[in-house]
Each structure stands twice: as structure tokens, then as C-alpha cells.
Amino acid sequence: MTSLFSHSVRSEMLALFVAESCAVALLVLALLTAGGAEGVMAAAATAIMVAICAVLVAGAIGFYRPVALQGLCPSLVHGATGAGVLALVLALLLAMLPFDHAQWSFLELLAAALAGSVAGIAATRFVFGLLRLPLPRLALVGSAAEPGAIHRNYQPFEVTLALPVGEALLEAVERGRLRAWRIWAVVSASSMPLAPADSRRCGAAGLQVFTEAEFSEHGLHRIDIDRLPDGWLASANSMRESGWSAGLRRAFDITFAIALLTLTLPLLLLTMLAIRLDGPGPIFYRQERVGRGNRVFQLLKFRSMIPDAEAFGAPVWASRGDSRVTRVGRFLRLCRIDEIPQALNVLRGDMSIIGPRPERPGFVEQLGELIPHYHDRAVIRPGITGWAQVNHPYGASVEDARMKLSYDLYYIRRRSLFLDALILLATVRVVLFQEGAR
């Protein structure tokens, strides 16, 4: 496990990212200089830029997700989508780069860049596949080993051993039951903590030992809500942000929101026309949501449901195949187009680009009574996208809200520009493959 800007990254995944970057750069450089050594420096700069674009697109498609090492060959849909997106990105990049096209037509240059990128990533993943690097297996000690806890708390990791509270982890190590390489031990709070000397002996045997709360945060990138102390916010990254960082974040929000509205203007006009032609009712939908400091604001969306969808009762979560969703609205929800007007909320200061999703006052009151620390998510601005949105599908239950809160609190605790970049990349995957839409 490697820590990058307060965010834990699996060492194998980081190695895969670096190896693919180098492989793509070298292959593209070899293709661009195949006809001679002229313009080597310009070709090298182009190859590096192509490699950066290639691995960023791969990340956006989901090639570096925690489960990626379980199946290094992406699905046909993901692979084809990734190649298409990469071709578009490379076309834009090569059109702007000052590389000498004398020996190459633009299409030849694009073909070389795309071929080098695909071949570099495919070859690297083939080699990593031969190494057979699975997700680390888990040895659970104490209440962490209960069947319900295993299914709920440790997916997608494989549990290789479960030990009762009375059986010492170190004894199991010495008996050879945990000799396998790459095992993480998760010790429940009810078990006796390991002495420093015992921890060193476990480390020498190849074991990394975590408490349940530590594993949740570092291995699963979410917070164990039940074991979170009351004063945790004092040490959260979001609460220690300097004025300069806050100003930079706000400048990014404004710039991104303006760019989003500008680039999607033709799409927005077509959407407005489609909603108007689909049936009676307003084009936009305004709804009360709870923002930073529990302040209520009016969230703006394209209307995707019939007018007065909740006129006869309390607010309810949307369900799969919800009959209230219109024909046009179903498409808007699948592609997340209905969310774009929230960029206006960002410009007004109600929201940020990245943060917890804002909920309705009725749900906030209800969930605040049922879930510990639920109101802690209100310490930062809500966002159009966020860590919970890209890691957990649409939630329509208290249990879903609890899981999403665990991701939201992780973001609040570990917020950084690096984590923001990961969320933006993951948002591309969520939108392209319509993950969790209802």
C-alpha cells in the first residue's frame, strides 16, 4: 500500500500505471522515429504527451479500479469505448502539438499514437497477468470474522482465514496457517491488540495487520462510521484547508462550471426542446436541498419526472423503472444530462463541483436520526459528483445512505486535489457506462 496525498493506493496498481505509461511512451516514440532520427526531441515530447493521455483515459474508463488486477483484460465494451475515447482525445492533442508532420499525414500520426497506446497498455497487462497478482487475501480475527460482517464489510477481497477472539493471530502465523504471500490481517476491536514485538514478527512473516477501522479507511477507502470518534472533524483535511487552497478550489469550481455550461450549450438547447415536446410541465425542476451548514437552497435540474410527482405524499427515493419518470427523462437520467443545470448552483455558491450529494430536508432529518455522524457531511459544500457517487450506485434505502455516508466522510477526511482528480476521472466512467442511474 502506498500513500499519495493522503490517499492509499495499492502498490501493484501504481506499478501498473507507471509501467503502462512507460510502455506507451516508448512504443509511440519508436513508431514516430522509425524513419530516421530527425526530430527526436519533438517526437519524444509528443510520445510523453500521448502516454499521459492514454493512461488518463484508461483511468477514466476504470482500468485502474481496485478489482482491475483480478481481470487485467477489460471487457469488450470497456475496451472499445476506451479506444474510441482515446482516439478522440489523441486527435485533439495532435492537432495542437507542434510536431513536424512532414513525414506523416495527420491520420498516420493519429494511427501511430493510437496503435502505440493500445499495444503498450495491452502488452503491459499481459505481462502483469502472467505475474498473477490478485487482491490481497484477508485473515479476520474476532467479530470481524462473523459471516454477516464478511459479506458486508470486506467485498471484493477474498477471506482466506477466520480466527476466533481466543486464538492469537501470532500463533496461527507460527503454525504456518498464514504463510501465503500477500495476506492482510484484520483484527476486530474486541480482540487483544498486538504488542509491538508481535507486530514486527507478523510483518516479518509477510502480514500487514489492520484494525477494522484502519482496513475500512486504507483498504476500502471509506470510513467505519460506528468506530468514528466524535472529535474526528478537527483533524480532517477539509477542516484544515488554508485560505489559499479554499480560494483555488472556488476558482476551479467557477471555471469548470462556466466551461461545462459553454461546451454543452447546444446539448442544453436540444434538451430544453425535447422536454417541451415530450409533454406539459416546466422545463426546469427546482427542489429544496440541504447544503453546507445545513442551509437549505433551491437545486436546479432538468425536469425528468411528470409534473407534481410528489404532490400527494412525502418525498420518496426514485426506484428502478420508476413510473413517474418521463420518456425523455429516462434518457436524461441515464446520461446524467439532467444534472448539468446544477452548474448554475455552483456559480451561485450553493454547491461545488465535487462533494457529497445534497439531500432533501425530509431525508436529512430522517437519516440524521438513524445514522451516526450523518450531519457531519454538511461541513463542506455539496457537489455535482463525489467520492460516494463514483463508488456506490444510486441509493434508495437507509442502508445505501449509510454506505454512501462512509464514502462522503472519507472524502471529507482525506480531501485533496489528487482525490478530486480521481473523482473527476471516475465520473467519466460513471456517465459513459450509465452506472447507478435510475
Q: Are residues 266 and 376 in the same domain?
A: yes
Winning range, highest mean pLDDT, from 7-11, 199-203, 318-322: 7-11
Q: Which residues does 11 contact at the CB level (< 8 Å), separation at least 6?
A: 1, 2
d(CA 429, CA 199): 40
Q: Which residues does 359 contact at the CB level (< 8 Å), separation at least 6?
A: 289, 290, 367
Q: Where are the beta strands (DSSP E) in 112-260?
A: 137-141, 159-163, 183-187, 207-211
Residue whose C-alpha is closest to residue 209's, from 254, 248, 146, 201: 201
Q: Are residues 191 and 262 in the same domain?
A: no
The verdict on residue 376 lying in a domain is yes
**pLDDT: which is higher, 393 or 145:** 393
pLDDT at 140: 75
Q: Are residues 32 and 127 in the same domain?
A: yes
What separation in angstroms does the CA of 112 have from each of 58, 73, 115, 150?
A: 18, 22, 5, 47
The verdict on residue 226 lying in a domain is no
Total count of domains within the chain: 3
What nine digits make up the cell of 419? 482525490
- Contact present, 291 and 350 (Cβ < 8 Å): yes
Q: Where residue 174 sits, what CATH number does that domain have?
A: 3.40.50
The verdict on residue 45 lying in a domain is yes
Q: Are residues 208 and 329 in the same domain?
A: no
pLDDT at 144: 56
Name the DSSP class of 33: T
> Which residues pair with residue 209 across a beta bridge?
185
Sign of CA dihedral 164, 165, 166, 168: positive
Residue 380, exposed/middle/buried by CB under 10 A (0-12, 13-18, 19+)? buried
The verdict on residue 213 lying in a domain is yes
Residue 297 has pLDDT above 90, yes or no: yes
pLDDT tens digits along 381-399: 999 999 999 998 877 788 8
Can you give the residue range of the structural domain that contains 169?
A: 137-220
d(CA 384, CA 323): 25
pLDDT tens digits along 80-137: 888 899 999 999 988 887 655 556 778 888 999 999 999 999 899 888 877 766 666 7
The verdict on residue 32 lying in a domain is yes
Q: pTM for the whole thing?
A: 0.87
What nine digits make up the cell of 199? 507486530
Helix then strand count (H, E) for the chain reads 16, 10
